[in-house]
Structure 1
């Protein structure tokens, strides 16, 4: 295996962690994260546990709120607003996707933008799209860009294809890459000739949530592939969207799943939490 091609997130995450521990230890009160989850989806549980563990490792605190999948939108919005209004909470991480009967828009409009660490509130979405530095982008979006820059990958003038058009990740990532003067294409389920459009990319980012979606036919030689897919099978094994072994020989760099963007994402989340706590305590 050509290990020099594997772009791991651990070195960047370690740099961020060292800085955060120093800053958090200087605060009178530890920043407090609230994780909020509906139901028992394995991938949400895994992400929640990892986030709580990492916050504590960074010298911060975290508490988890779990609601049954049967909860109504009205009841959940009421409970969620109480969490958002709690002065002891500095930042909130909301596990998604929701059960189908829950109205995302009603929930997203409830969160305090100052505590919205993952860029879901309408105010933060608008700030990200208008390049307003006060807004929080989704931690995973910032992690992707930071990891590319840390690895010395040039963004200016490069063709970047994003597979996935969600408002919080795909579209928000496009806005952040445009800030770095990349030329961005977004592909989705209705894209015609998606394999050709992916092959045109110098940098290919996949966030579709579909195992082995990206095969060698989708990747041009010496492309950089950032895999942020998160798929959990019945045995609990985690994989990304890319056929890692099938495209490794063809790429310049590729992030593994797990071990790639995920660790950096959690570090960025902690960075957002520290920033939120400092802003609220001025």
Structure 2
């Protein structure tokens, strides 16, 4: 936190200097480039926020939002559409995955995506590159898929090794095939009233679908998004606004974050901090969507670890009205939305309705 304070002090300009700048030129702006303001969201230890007891009811138990069951319903509909497309025009959607390195969690995610494609009839292909590959190798792989008419969706499995420029690589991806929905133009369309993005990012899209299918009213409600990543937090906050919620974003530099979350009717958290959200952070009767998937090492588990969310589930479940579990909540929905985006891309390419 000291480092952050030093950075912010360096960016500050005394009032007299500001006055001089303004007088000298009407085109001189005080605000620095946005990129220069970027700081990593390093969350303080959990204990820093907890100075009051957790007040939960032992009698109350929230409804669990079953993401697996809802995702299965969606995938069944996708499979029907793929069959109809194949029967009608002899074509099926195609998804290409580019994976760099041997991260265990990335391998698991890619394996699940490929399996899901097979189950609904989408053809998938994976390009595996070594962890020490060059940017040129990744760009070449993407370029091949960009011009392949049988491929309608392309995703780069993130995160990439640190020596690769993630932004530069993702910019190569064809806008019409960016089924992850990370392209800046897609994000801009998501933010602007009256614009329809080609794709909605998969995890935010899945979160909203969970709320709608669970009968949760979004319009006019207070919503808090915990975390502001480009992948989840930012597009989720934009999407909630498009659904007419009043949205606050909580991040690592937010003062007294529990005060904001305690007022929210809907809390969607994607901070990547295990058990960050405790029972006393939540409004009784609120709805919680927990995007966090934080591995905890445990040799007794099949894969050597188990997953927990950003929300302390056993406390939250005694306060809120509905909540997603981890695992089994948002994860299956993210994959279902990826399949949905790939199908939509193929429909556009073939002018199929």
Residues 71-102 of structure 1: CA distance to partner in whole angstroms, max 9, x if unpaired? 23333223322233322211012211222222
Are 2:153 and 2:342, in contact at CA under 8 Å, matched by a contact in 1?
A: yes
Query: Which residue is 1:257 aligned to?
Result: 326
CA distance in 1, matches of 2:248, 2:197: 26
Equivalent residue in structure 1 for 2:254, among 175, 181, 191 = 191
User: Which has the larger displacement, 250-259 or 39-48?
Assistant: 39-48
| Structure 1: segments with no counterpart, 5+ residues | none
SS in 2 for 1:16: helix
Distance (Å, rounded) in 2 between the aligned partners of 1:17 and 1:79: 28
Residue 157 of structure 1 deviates from its aligned partner by: 1.3
Please say which of residues 91-100 and 229-238 is displaced more in the overlay: 229-238
Residue of structure 2 equivalent to 1:211: 274
* Correspondence for 1:26: 84
Of stretches 12-21 and 202-211 in structure 1, the one that deviates more from structure 2 is: 12-21
Q: Deviations over 1:106-136 (max 9, x none)?
A: 1121111111111112222222222522421
Report whether the alignment pairs 1:101 with 2:163.
yes
Match of 1:41 in 2: 103
Q: For 1:257, what is the secondary structure of its paired residue?
A: coil
More moved, 229-238 vs 209-218: 229-238
2:144 matches 1:82: yes
Residue correspondence of structure 1 range 101-180 to structure 2 within 5 A = 101-131=163-193, 132-180=195-243
Partner Cα separation in structure 2 for residue 78 and residue 65 of structure 1: 11
- Counterpart position of 2:348: 279
Distance 2:255 2:173 in 1: 37
- Larger deviation, residues 243-252 vs 3-12: 3-12
Secondary structure at the counterpart of residue 305 of structure 2: coil
Q: Quote the offset at 1:34 in angstroms.
A: 1.0
Q: Does the 8 Å contact 1:125/1:168 carry over to 2?
A: no
TM-score by length of 2: 0.76
Structure 2 unaligned segments of length 5 or more: list them.
1-57, 298-303
Partner SS for 2:128: strand
Runs (4+) of structure 1 exceeding 4 A deviation are 1-4
Deviations 1:160-212 (A, max 9, x none): 11011112321111111111110000111111111222212111111111221
SS of 1:97's equivalent in the other structure is coil
| Two-structure CA RMSD over aligned residues (Å) | 1.8
Residues 94 and 151 in structure 2, CA contact (< 8 A), matched pair in contact too: yes
The secondary structure found in structure 2 opposite 1:168 is: coil
1:238 aligns with 2:307: yes
Query: Aligned partners of 2:197, 2:226: CA distance in 1, in Å?
Result: 27
Match of 1:247 in 2: 316
CA contact (8 A) 2:153 2:177 kept: yes
Contact 1:163 1:208 in 2 (8 A): yes
Cα distance, 1:166–1:4 mapped onto 2, change above 3 Å: closer
